[in-house]
Chains A and B, each alone.
Chain A
Amino acid sequence: MHELGIVFYIIRDVKKVAEENHVERVSAVVMDIGEVSTVVPHLLTDCWRWAADKEELLKGCELKCNIIPAVTWCDDCKQEYETVKHGKTCPHCHSENTWLLRGNEVEIKELVVSS
């Protein structure tokens, strides 16, 4: 739902980096998207196509999403488990004293550019 707002943030950040590095064209933006980040990759790429083509620097530029699997840490039995499969409750010891280790990322990993 908020993917368009996030696309505007990505464009702002990419334009800034491009300017600092005297880049003429960006051919790809690579994102790290956590599995439980609440960002839906295909909606993000849809919004990206619409917004990026309005920018000279980003015409035809591809947005690639790497999905980062979500992993939760159980503070009681000191083990990791898959967040999406088991949620808040640890499958090893059934504790709810658990914390998300990774999978919440919405990061720009890198740009592929030509100058």
Chain B
Amino acid sequence: MQEIKVIEIKKSVFAENEKDADTLRVELKNKGVCLLNLMSAPGSGKTTTLIQLINRIKDKIRVAVMEADIDSDVDAVKIKEATGVPSIQLHTGGMCHLDAEMTRQGLDNLDLKNTDLVILENVGNLVCPAEFDTGATCNAMILSVPEGDDKPLKYPLMFTVCDLVIINKTDVMPYFDFNLERCKKNILMRNPHATIIPVSAKTGDGMDTLAEWLRGKLHC
């Protein structure tokens, strides 16, 4: 007769991924590579911001980009054409986020010996990417003005896990009911240590400050 028994586990389903992510973080540190995980809602201007940013730092920092999307390679092609830096496309196969193992598989396709900074453009989504540690050295997110200054209240985890919050599309601020000070207060309530940089990727306003922040992170 078969014996039925109960095995107690009591373990978070994220525990394995967090272990993988910590291992990846240490490996990248030993290789002298910084991995920046960039997250946001779809349409916040991630790709445009990246192009502006990379063109400001690429003379001193060797950058590579990993674009993660459910499908298509439009973003990877756009980055390569506009900046000339190596750019690869990762497909998540329907999944709404990347985890540490998927990130590692992506990194295997890059020449890390000749790279200082890898920017991972995560799937456009304010919920799931915040739940899954990718092994990144640093987490950043973009909040664009049309989305509203109340987003940190609605998606608290995303703002809690990010070291940097970029507020994009400041050029359209006059047309929206967006209060920058209220937005900053909402972000800092969730994450008192967050750095907040307002930019317009379209006009270039604030992009030098952003480039400076990134250079500081890389100590160069």
Chain A interface residues toward B at CB < 8 A: 1-2, 4-6, 9-10, 12-13, 17, 21, 23-25, 27, 38, 88, 96, 105-115
Contacts and interface: CB of A to CB of B under 8 A. Distances in A.
A10 to B, nearest CB: 6
Contact of A2 (B3, B16, B127): B127
Interface in B175-210: 189
Nearest to B14: A106
Contacts, number: 81
The 10 closest A-B pairs by CB, nearest first: A2-B128, A114-B2, A9-B13, A108-B9, A111-B7, A110-B8, A1-B96, A106-B13, A114-B4, A5-B95
Contacts of B131: 2, 38
A107 B11 contact: yes
Given A113-B4, A113-B7, A115-B3, A1 B13 contact: no
B7 A110 contact: yes
A13 B11 contact: yes
B10 interface: yes
B128 A108 contact: no
B96 A96 contact: no
B97 to A, nearest CB: 6
Nearest to B130: A38
Contacts of B8: 109-110
Interface of A: prevailing SS:
mixed
B115 interface: no
Nearest to A23: B7
B17 interface: yes
Interface of B: prevailing SS:
mixed
20 contacts: A1-B96, A1-B128, A2-B97, A2-B131, A5-B128, A6-B13, A9-B13, A38-B157, A106-B12, A106-B13, A106-B14, A107-B10, A107-B11, A108-B9, A108-B13, A109-B8, A112-B5, A113-B6, A114-B2, A114-B3
B99 interface: yes
B97 A5 contact: yes
Contacts of B94: 4
Given A2-B127, A4-B94, A4-B95, A112 B6 contact: yes
A13 B128 contact: no
A98 B153 CA distance: 14
Interface in B62-116: 94-97, 99
Contacts of A1: 96, 125, 127-128
A114 B2 CA distance: 6
Contacts of A105: 12
Given A1-B96, A2-B132, A112-B5, 13 more contacts: A9-B17, A12-B16, A13-B11, A25-B2, A27-B4, A38-B127, A109-B10, A110-B8, A110-B10, A112-B4, A113-B5, A113-B7, A114-B5
Interface in B34-88: none
A53 to B, nearest CB: 18
A107 B6 contact: no
A104 B3 CA distance: 34
